[in-house]
Structure 1
């Protein structure tokens, strides 16, 4: 059953028809979680003892950074599935994930710069964590550039997948950069194997924002994938029927 479901998921037609009903629920979940999390974090969470109110940017910065990293794995794994099992849909997911991941990485870098000014006295330092995040942005941009560099989609798909896979070496470097090198960037406040170093009154709204960002990411990824599926499969009869029913 799992193998059959895996192959069904690889069908652009099955994916398009199956996921249409998911989008409204993901959009609603994103809206509710982000509204609650932002109001909770910006309006009701207490001030930080050392940073005052400037720390509140974590409610955008941290979720964006989380999804930038997780999204790269999604892009790379999708590319790997396409290379190994020749699934067209996985390449489409890979391409759809690239601009979303690039936008989230930019948001993480931008909000980090805004946070760095009152904390470190400067918007930018060549810190290990920040520099490796910049490399992540360049990798996303590289995948986007390769996706438009080839006239044949199949060649572009393979080139993007290979670059995405090579770039995965940067993800553990980002995670461990604050442990491996002397860095201005603070260590992780949210830990899976140890107790969190952030107070619950600040942690719960942050957790809500992270959940909201994950729902938003899933929503945008599925919506963008559906759009790219229609572009790739526009000659097929099922797409003509789907577009006819939607008009």
Structure 2
């Protein structure tokens, strides 16, 4: 086994980084940083409380983080599923690193989704948690991908780890559309889609803040993915190099033993 080269592009090892940072990632990071500052201004200052519903008011501002976090975790797990499928097809290290990196970021966004949803539920429903279809399926999604990350740490052999993780990464994604459509398929305390219908429940600057948050959330996900993928790929390359060195040392010991026996 040889360690994969780290270079730009999508060569024989699949998508590969050109280092731990790049001009593009720095530009994207600057955009996200400036965009976040503007987002806080729009979401917390410029936009007005929701006066159309008695239960919302200032609480509508949580939605500007809650919904984008949910969209980002859906996207992250979709990338994990696609990258897992590509690994099973191509068997290249880059796709496995991409799947692992995206899943890890998706778990963070899922935790943020659950946290902000719990705050919203405590104020609206009077409880931090309900075994509502949307909440339950989201919690299951969180546990499934925590299990995915745990599986990656439990298996030592890189090839076996990549194969089993890829299968789980594809199977776990089945729950994602269940989470999304749960409010339509079952009776739920959770409100239905806020902006997907032809008659959205919010408008004006509040609607702008929500879409702004969704775009910013996806840009933040992309920036995090760039850096996490580079780190994961470098880690796997180092692991492969260490394994090569260990095998070479073992072969050298075997040759030395053979020589001793011969003499």
- TM-score class, shorter: 0.7 to 0.9
Call closer, same or farther: CA 1:24–1:13 in 2, change over 3 Å: farther
Helix, strand or coil at the partner of 1:9 = strand
What is the alpha-carbon root mean square deviation over aligned residues? 2.0
Could you list the structure 1 runs, at least 4 aligned residues long, displaced by more than 6 angstroms after superposition: none
Call closer, same or farther: CA 1:67–1:11 in 2, change over 3 Å: farther
Within the candidate set 1, 21, 24, 2:23 is matched to 21
Residues 1-58 of structure 1: per-residue CA shift (max 9 Å, x gap): xxxxxx9425569732287222111101111222211210111111112211012111
C-alpha distance in 1 between matches for 2:191 and 2:75: 20
- Residue number in structure 2 paired with 1:135: 140
The answer for unaligned runs of 5 or more in structure 2 is 1-7, 242-263
Helix, strand or coil at the partner of 2:154 = coil
Within the candidate set 88, 94, 98, 1:89 is matched to 94
After superposition, where does 1:1-247 map in structure 2 within 5 Å?
8-10=9-11, 15-17=16-18, 20-49=22-51, 50=54, 51-191=56-196, 194-234=198-238
C-alpha distance in 2 between matches for 1:48 and 1:10: 51
Residues 134-180 of structure 1: per-residue CA shift (max 9 Å, x gap): 01101110110010111111111111111111112111111111111
TM-score, normalised via structure 1 length: 0.87
C-alpha distance in 1 between matches for 2:208 and 2:10: 34
Call closer, same or farther: CA 1:83–1:39 in 2, change over 3 Å: same
Between the two proteins, the alignment pairs up a number of residues equal to 229
The answer for unaligned runs of 5 or more in structure 1 is 1-6, 237-247
C-alpha distance in 2 between matches for 1:108 and 1:58: 10
Structure with the greater alpha carbon radius of gyration: 2
- TM superposition shift of 1:87: 2.2
